[in-house]
Amino acid sequence: MAKATIQFPRGFLWGTATAAHQVEGNNTNNNWYAWEEAGHTEHKSALTCDWWGGRWKEDFDRAAETGQSAHRLSVEWSRIQPERDRWDENALERYREMLRGLRERNMTAMVTLHHFTEPLWLTELGGWESDEAPLLFADFVRKTVSALKEYANLWVTINEPNVYGFMGYVAGIFPPGKKDLRVAFKVMTNMVRGHALAYRAIHEVQHEARVGMAHQYRSLVPKNRKSMLDRWAAKAQSSIFNNLFPRAVTDGKVKFLWNTVNIPEAAGTQDFMGLNYYSRDTVSFDLKMSGQLFGRLSYDENADLSGTGFIANEPDGFFEGLRWANRFGKDIIVTENGVEDASDEMRPRYLAQHIQQVWRAVNFNWPVKGYFHWSLVDNFEWERGWTQRFGLWELDVETQKRRKRKSADFYEEVCKTNSLSSEMVKKYCPEAMGKIFPD
């Protein structure tokens, strides 16, 4: 078989992504801590990866030593603003120290300002159901960006607002555990307003800033492509889950089922398109699934599934997501992509096949500027706790020891060479050779 290498553009960002509550440890003043204490999660986050205790330093070292040129992290609102009328300057200094640490390691920082968590005092006001929330979020953003702007100019205002809205207010799995489409619509509308205010606040504080959202794209295809009802259900779900927020920050219109709200100040408030992609679902029409627009989700019966069956390896859905992102006419940054795989058997082929899709997009001259793998080290996976392992490094929760997985070695070769080669694929996931480098 002939040797081959697919090369990425000079300056392409290679990194990993994390979130504050999932790695810092001892976040005890936010809605997720309260949710855990109420018994809604598999485990409690507790120390997580002990970043607040300083272990970010060794994890940043691992990232830098393995060729990563960037890292996406989030800040914890409840640490920075523990009470409505009080700011914690020590917390801001701790985040400055982390960002300085990235700069000292020649890594570009991407900072997420809201990643699923918010202070308990905001929860007591009603969270994003409150019309005060967008203004309060903008105040937090202005304060935080003013403090951190020396070390970052790449900002994500809100991570996966579609997931936040669906899981917390439709499925009831995230806090506050509601199942009400009307409330979900209000929450998502207020998040659009909050993003728009935050976008302008960031640009007022830092003119050269690049600001976007991190949108999760879920490929949703009809289970039976000949079924009109399956096609309708898939289209309806995709219209809301995938399109509501990107369209809102493009044209200023929030469209949700039969409702449309005009938010003209949200139009044009995205400098880049942050794309999170994990998998693809098939959708079948089901009258019993009214809360999900009559669409039942499942994976293809022949899908390559992760150990717990949580993620299917569907790289074609990733390319579909990149094509979708390109329609919005902005630079694209893959802000999350990865798979839970404690055994690290599936991850190398998942990684290789998805990186190949990024290369395909680049070769169509789509403006893909970077790729952040989820995640650097095993971390606390929300309601699923420690049952899923997404890290390039394995974490022993009891001892805090890290162990490098073979997928970390694989990603190191990708990052250091800015490429994916047939030799790498043959070495780390030979079973994927025929799909990536066919004879």
Alpha helices in 117-180 (DSSP H): 120-124, 133-148, 161-169
**Phi, psi torsion values for 387, nearest 5 degrees:** -75, -10
What's the pLDDT score for residue 278?
A: 98
**Among the listed residues 410, 426, 246, the one whose alpha carbon sits nearest the alpha carbon of residue 327:** 246
Alpha helices in 222-288 (DSSP H): 228-241, 244-251
Q: Is the pLDDT confidence value at 1 over 60?
A: no
Distance in angstroms (rounded) separating the CA atoms of residues 327 and 361: 12
The answer to whether 363 and 5 are in contact (CB under 8 A) is no
DSSP result, 386-437 = TS----SEEE-TTT--EEE-HHHHHHHHHHHHTEEEHHHHHHH-GGGHHHHS
Confidence label for 298 from pLDDT (cuts 50, 70 and 90): very high
Average pLDDT over residues 346-350: 98
What's the pLDDT score for residue 293?
A: 82
Q: pLDDT by residue (tens digit) across 261-295?
A: 999 999 999 999 999 999 999 999 988 888 788 89
Tell me the pLDDT of the chain averaged across its residues. 97
The answer to whether 15 and 372 are in contact (CB under 8 A) is yes
Q: Is the pLDDT confidence value at 114 over 80?
A: yes
What's the pLDDT score for residue 294?
A: 87
Q: Is the pLDDT confidence value at 434 over 70?
A: yes
Q: Which two tokens stand for residue 270?
A: 């995205």
Distance in angstroms (rounded) separating the CA atoms of residues 209 and 11: 18
**Among the listed residues 133, 160, 143, 134, the one whose alpha carbon sits nearest the alpha carbon of residue 206:** 143
The answer to whether 63 and 376 are in contact (CB under 8 A) is yes
Collect all residues with Cβ–Cβ distance below 8 Å to 35 and sequence separation of at least 6.
41, 174, 175, 177
Sequence letter at residue 311:
I
Percent of the chain at pLDDT > 70 equals 100
Element (H, E) at 276: strand 272-285
Average pLDDT over residues 64-74: 98
Burial of 271 (0-12, 13-18, 19+ CB in 10 A): middle
What's the pLDDT score for residue 317?
A: 98
- Give the start-to-end residue ranges of the domains of the chain: 5-436
Q: pLDDT by residue (tens digit) across 220-255?
A: 999 999 999 999 999 999 999 999 999 999 999 999
Distance in angstroms (rounded) separating the CA atoms of residues 307 and 341: 6
Q: 5-436: which CATH topology? A: TIM Barrel (3.20.20)
Q: pLDDT by residue (tens digit) across 413-430?
A: 999 999 999 999 999 999
- pTM assigned to the model: 0.98
- In this structure, how many other beta carbons lie within 10 angstroms of the beta carbon of residue 260? 9
Average pLDDT over residues 30-47: 97
